[in-house]
Amino acid sequence: MTLFKSLALTAALLSASTLSQAADSGIYGGLGLGKVNASASKGNGLPNDFKGNDVGYKFIVGVRPIDWLAAEVSYLDLGNPDSGAFSADTNGISGSVLTIKNVMPMLDVFAKGGLVNWRAQINSNILGQLDKRNGTNPVYGGGLIVRLLDLSVRAEYEHFNMDQGGNFVSASVTWTFF
């Protein structure tokens, strides 16, 4: 019985190792959902500093040519964070390079850096639109990726240097196509 258990455990570990290697590289796409924390400084029509939270989402397209490197583009909708008197409608497109390290079968950690091109409209609940802002600024972050065949689930933190800043903590699902 002990020999049978040992063989079964060895077979399971080898299978998990094979499955985890199956989606190491290729072209992938997916979507994510998470919590946005945004802030903006006063001025340009905004009488006070702004800080608010909301739910955001993103669409991801990327390529992972080798095990430890990927490049991706994301469309971001950072929701409508609301501070009570003010709200901000922010979206953008980011391009990032990811460095990836496999730490266990089916588990990777990653760090990312790049640029985000963003647009924000800041509104008053009483006066309507107060300000429109846009720019291209750095984005950085990191997280964990759990892989099973062509499906990956990741938990991620991203910081956007938009005006004063924005943070996006999300969970994403991606599928490797090729």
In contact, 12 and 4? CB cutoff 8 Å: no
For residue 164, the model assigns a pLDDT of 65
Q: Tell me the pLDDT of the chain averaged across its residues.
A: 83
Over residues 59-69, the pLDDT tens digits come to 999 999 999 99
- What lies within 8 Å, CB to CB, of 45 at 6+ separation is 122, 130, 131
The answer to whether residue 9 scores a pLDDT higher than 80 is no
Give the highest mean pLDDT range of 3-12, 29-38, 159-168: 29-38
Structural domains in the chain, sorted by start:
2-176 (2.40.160.20)
Q: Over 50: is that where the pLDDT of 171 sits?
A: yes
